[in-house]
A and B are shown apart, each in its own frame.
Chain A
Amino acid sequence: MFYQQLANALALGAVYSLFAIGFTLIFGVMEIITLAHGAVFMVGAFAGYTAATKFGLGIIPCLIISMAASGFIGFVLDLVAIRPLRKKKFHHLAPMIATIGCATIITSIYQGIFGAEAYRFPFDFVPNENYEFRGIQLTQLQLTIIFTSFILMIMMIFFLNKTKWGKAVRAVAENSRTGALLGIPVERVYQFTMIISSSFGGAAGVLTGLNFNTIHTFMGGPILHRGIAVIILGGMGDIRGAMAGGLILGFAEVLSVAYISSDFRDAVSFGLLFLILLIRPSGIFGKKIERKG
């Protein structure tokens, strides 16, 4: 029973990690919290859903389409809401508020189109088979989710550490001014970060839609809350922290639902967030946070 819960938790947490690494990357590189990341996630889920139902595509093309769609939204977000605010004289809250505006716009347009009802991926989108490892039941769906999430995350880490663009992203995250001095096109890096982070958010949307077998237009809110908890848990801007944080939250949720009550599942993330703010605000792996003079 307990091990079974762990398997469920892994599938849940892997998606949280996937959502959060883009979220945290944007913070690390651009120093903004984009509160539209939940809306981007929802857009990705619906793009995947549309590709699956309207065009009858399989899971991999659906994921690609979803990532492209949400990546595009990320690009537009940067273009209309974030880039114009990068000039210094704007208030430091301005980008965050602008992304709240964008989230509201995106969500209500989708609510206009799709309404408030739940949609489902086609019945046999992922074959309904079970595998058993030492008594733990894993569905093919769970395996797909875990596998896809980890592949994508490994690709991200590989990209950041081994490719020229990835190194540029990290250099800008370290310090945008020195990055510019080194000849890195900082604006491009920002744009690129938004696109790639958003596309990860979109993929997380599809996988969540599969995991719970529903997607709806207000699914962006709950994941945003969880994403926030995860990136604070892992330390803001810390990719590995976000991965670990996502898994921790997944486990915390599954275990509290299994052993306490399912009513408060949505509150677990906040409990964790609050706890970490009380005892270790820099996150589980983070260094101490300090103000600069």
Chain B
Amino acid sequence: MSDFLISFWQTYNTLFYTIFIHGMLGLSIYLTLACGLLSLGNAAFMGIGAYTSALLTMKAGFPFGISLIAGGILPSMVALAIGIPTLRLSGVYLAMATLGFGEVVRVVLLNMEITGGSMGINGIPQKTELWHLVLIMGIIIFFFIRLRDSKYGRAMEAINEDEVASSVMGIRTTYFKVWTFTAGAFIAGVAGGLNAHFTYFISPREYGFEPAVDILTFAILGGTKTFWGPIAGSAILTVLPEMMRFMGPYRLAVNGIILLLVVLYLPNGIVSRGTFISLKKLFSERKSNA
């Protein structure tokens, strides 16, 4: 039995690490989605965090913890700079600005010397351990739990439902939006740092538009009614592609199809009452047929 567990762990431990990192990324975009905003820049924030923390540990010899935090702070500063002009406007602008921003980050990473251009950075010391991931994920979840039943959580939900009505209720909507966008960038940056210190190697390719769509898919599939949604979505979408390797280049299409089907048929995602009700229906139909 324990032999089995050991070999299972040896085969799949990467998968566990990845589930945690993807979970954090899913939560990072959830934070903005919960305010009714679409950020397509979270992969780029992850990238900034990954490069920042990797360079700090490798070139400056910073302790891991410090470079992780720096890897969260820099992207959130950048988010602040992008967020303040765009978030005064309707939500569409954020989606578009962040989409363009992701491209810029990729181009900059490709062309800077210190980032190693298209070769990326190799040989990042492997410092991320499972307990780091569990701890940080725990902190994030703790934060979301406390947020849920507070004035801040309610304000975000209200903004998501109706921004104009919220502003008339005395909520400083722009302030909240900037804040959640920035905090989302922080989480994405830390996740990027953790990932960099786990995979040895990072390159600009990992932080372009496609990863941004992946992150979005985590959250949308899982659902954005509660923060458990993105966590579940990330876990599913991390395990699923492993099983779909046989699909080769069409694997990405599966992501697209999931995104489309969920938006159309499960608008609240998998972790929602809708799923519960349709499952119940399914089973009661089965029973009545039998």
Contacts and interface: CB of A to CB of B under 8 A. Distances in A.
Chains A and B directly touch (beta carbon < 8 Å): yes
A263 interface: yes
Nearest to B167: A291
Interface in B233-256: 248-253, 255-256
Contact of B91 (A85, A93, A264): A93
Interface SS majority for chain B: helix
Interface in A21-42: 33, 35
B256 A105 contact: yes
A31 to B, nearest CB: 9
Interface residues on B, range: 35 or more
B250 A109 contact: yes
Given A104-B255, A270-B100, A277-B97, A80 B108 contact: no
A222 interface: yes
B36 A98 contact: no
Interface string B248-266: 1111110111111001100
B267 to A, nearest CB: 6
B103 A80 contact: no
Nearest to A33: B92
A100 interface: yes
Interface in A108-154: 108-109, 111-112, 115
A80 B93 contact: no
Given A105-B253, A289-B89, A266 B95 contact: no
Contacts, number: 135
B101 interface: yes
Interface stretch (A2-10, A162-170, A185-193, A223-231): A223-231
Given A93-B38, A97-B38, A108-B251, 16 more contacts: A81-B264, A92-B91, A93-B91, A98-B263, A101-B255, A102-B256, A108-B249, A112-B250, A221-B209, A236-B92, A264-B107, A270-B104, A273-B97, A278-B85, A291-B163, A292-B164
Interface of B: 33, 36, 38, 82, 85-86, 88-93, 95-97, 99-101, 103-104, 107-108, 110-111, 163-164, 208-210, 213, 216, 220, 248-253, 255-260, 263-264, 267
